[in-house]
Structure 1
Amino acid sequence: MTITPVKELVLRAKEEIETLSRDEVWRLAQAGEALVVDIRDPRELEREGKFPGALKAPRGMLEFWFDPASPYHKEAFATDKKIILFCAGAWRSSLATKALQDMGATNVAEMDGGFKLWKEEGRPVEA
């Protein structure tokens, strides 16, 4: 059996999605123009801290929360704001952003570098 390595899937997704700088994500978030969505695992949130004001949406539920026809839909996703996803290192967020695009999202992007670089740069983090 031959599989496509996840790194290849991520690279393909990045060719088709919008990636925003951490500065741009912060600017949009502070201006109230973005819904910033943290798709990391709850254990990562506890261990590493949180992006201020980000919606926590576990990766496994993202498509269900996004879909208005899903019994699990979350109203926060029914927005005209830009939806910006991030994870720890911008791999899961690439795949997740591509998945939402495949579902019809047109105003969705990922944050470059993920939360790891966000935190390493000394940016705001909630405990």
Structure 2
Amino acid sequence: MSAVDSYLAEARAHLRRVTPEELSAIKGGDTLIIDTRPIHNRLAEGEIPDSIPVERIVLEWRLDPEGDHRLPGFTAGTTVVVLCNEGYSSSLAARDLQRIGLPKATDLIGGFRAWAAAGLPVREGGTQAIT
């Protein structure tokens, strides 16, 4: 196993990852869906309705539940589901969010592409990411 594979496995050991169907069922309520994909992917493939694009380089600052630069409307008890293209970098991001005080942070198995392949709703992409 490569070093990065070990690193990923360690991160995932602390997550209760969700499938596209599970995310669809919990969407809304006290769930925040964070899309860390680059704008060119979101423009080409679309976005999950109600997801919030956040640049990966500012993710921890925008989601620190006690930070001065955090997004409004969530608490440390909110379920935060991070997604990327295929569900790799999102696992690392979700693990980092747990470390800063979001114990219910997780990620989407298979990422956006698994969501779209499951035939779940997709909106036109290009929403300006939070920086």
TM-score normalised to structure 2 length:
0.83
Deviations 1:5-39 (A, max 9, x none): 33332121111111012111111105x23111111
Matched, 1:14 2:12: yes
| Counterpart position of 1:55 | 52
Amino acid at match of 2:111: G
Residue in 2 aligned with 1:38? 35
Shift of the 24–99 alpha-carbon distance from structure 1 to 2, 3 Å rule, reads same
Q: Which runs of 5+ in 1 are unaligned?
A: none
Give the alignment's Cα RMSD to 1 decimal. Answer: 1.9
* Cα contact 1:65–1:77 (8 A) shared by 2: no
- Equivalence for 1:111: 108
The question of 1:94 aligning with 2:91 is answered yes
Contact 1:52–1:125 (CA under 8 A) maintained in structure 2: yes
Identical pairs, percent: 25
Contact map agreement 1:17 1:98 (CA 8 A) in 2: yes
Shift, 1:121, TM fit: 2.2
Equivalent pairs, count? 123
Give the alignment's TM-score, normalised by structure 1.
Answer: 0.85
**Contact 1:42–1:58 (CA<8 Å) still a contact in 2?**
no
Letter in 1 for 2:99: D
Taking the aligned partners of 2:86 and 2:47, their CA distance within structure 1 comes to: 14
Greater shift after overlay, 17-26 or 77-86? 77-86
Matching residue of 2:25: 27
